[in-house]
């Protein structure tokens, strides 16, 4: 399906990463939310154009600004190709992206299971292999000299980092939890890599969160109450 070219393109919040392609330094523009995959690769002069895609500058305005800044023409077809590429990668804030996001969110809400996003990437996807890895981290964990008995433990703050880099820290933390004795309920608070719309975020949908290593469940009543109390 062909979409008409927006005359006042508006770029969504994006991340721009320097890369080298074919021996040339360029920039990869991608979606930090990962709602859309892939990236649009641009040269540094075209990266300047991105800041003008605010929904207030027309395509003609952008070409004029480019001429004033670089002293050379940005041809109409060059800019059109860039805008099309951004649109194809769902990096423009427009009706096409809004419809796509609505579909993704509906699919997420209706899914009975919330699958692990990084299984097979940051840690093994196979349960047996993952259990072995986690067991190794816990066995290597260090139980530091504590000024209190482990059974007095009320909470545990663990660094938020990729398991591949933070495995030893996780092992020490969860070995301490194991020493604290049987625990009936865990309330796990995490962080967000992107600014949320509110200070806290709770998923209120009755999805199961299966652990790649197997087992695990959560108390829906407590979970739902938490969602209501934090907004």
99-125: pLDDT as tens digits = 999 999 898 888 887 777 788 888 888
Residue 104 and residue 144 in contact, taking contact as beta carbons nearer than 8 Å: no
77-90: pLDDT as tens digits = 999 999 999 999 99
39-65: pLDDT as tens digits = 999 999 999 999 999 999 999 999 999
Range of the domain at 89: 15-109
Instruction: Check residue 1 and give its pLDDT.
Output: 47
What is the domain count for the chain? Answer: 2
**Structural element, H or E, at residue 15:** strand 15-21
> What contacts 106, CB < 8 A, 6 or more positions away?
none
* Predicted confidence band of residue 228 (pLDDT cuts 50, 70, 90): very low
Instruction: Check residue 9 and give its pLDDT.
Output: 97
Name 208's bridge partners: 113
Q: Which of 81, 109, 137 is the last residue of a domain?
A: 109
State whether 191 and 98 are in the same domain: no
State whether 47 and 80 are in the same domain: yes
Residue 66 and residue 44 in contact, taking contact as beta carbons nearer than 8 Å: no
Q: Which of 74, 109, 144 is the last residue of a domain?
A: 109
Longest dimension (CA), the chain: 72
pTM, full prediction: 0.72
């Amino acid at each position: 399906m062909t979409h008409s070219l927006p005359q006042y393109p508006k770029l969504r919040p994006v991340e721009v990463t320097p890369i080298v392609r074919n021996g040339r330094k360029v920039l990869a523009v991608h979606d930090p939310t990962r709602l859309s995959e892939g990236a649009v690769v641009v040269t540094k002069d075209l990266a300047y154009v991105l800041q003008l895609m605010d929904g207030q500058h027309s395509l003609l305005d952008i070409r004029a600004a480019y001429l004033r800044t670089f002293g050379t023409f940005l041809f109409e077809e060059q800019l059109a190709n860039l805008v099309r590429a951004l649109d194809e990668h769902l990096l423009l804030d427009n009706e096409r992206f809004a419809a796509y996001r609505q579909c993704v969110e509906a699919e997420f809400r209706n899914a009975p299971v919330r699958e692990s996003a990084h299984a097979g990437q940051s840690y093994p996807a196979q349960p047996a292999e993952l259990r072995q890895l986690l067991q190794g981290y816990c066995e290597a964990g260090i139980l530091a000299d504590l000024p209190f008995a482990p059974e007095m433990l009320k909470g545990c703050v663990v660094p938020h980092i990729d398991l591949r880099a933070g495995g030893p820290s996780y092992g020490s933390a969860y070995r301490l939890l194991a020493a604290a004795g049987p625990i009936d309920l865990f309330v796990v608070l995490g962080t967000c890599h992107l600014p949320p719309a509110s200070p806290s975020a709770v998923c209120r949908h009755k999805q199961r969160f299966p652990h790649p290593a197997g087992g695990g469940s959560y108390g829906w009543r407590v979970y739902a109450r938490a969602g209501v109390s934090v907004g």
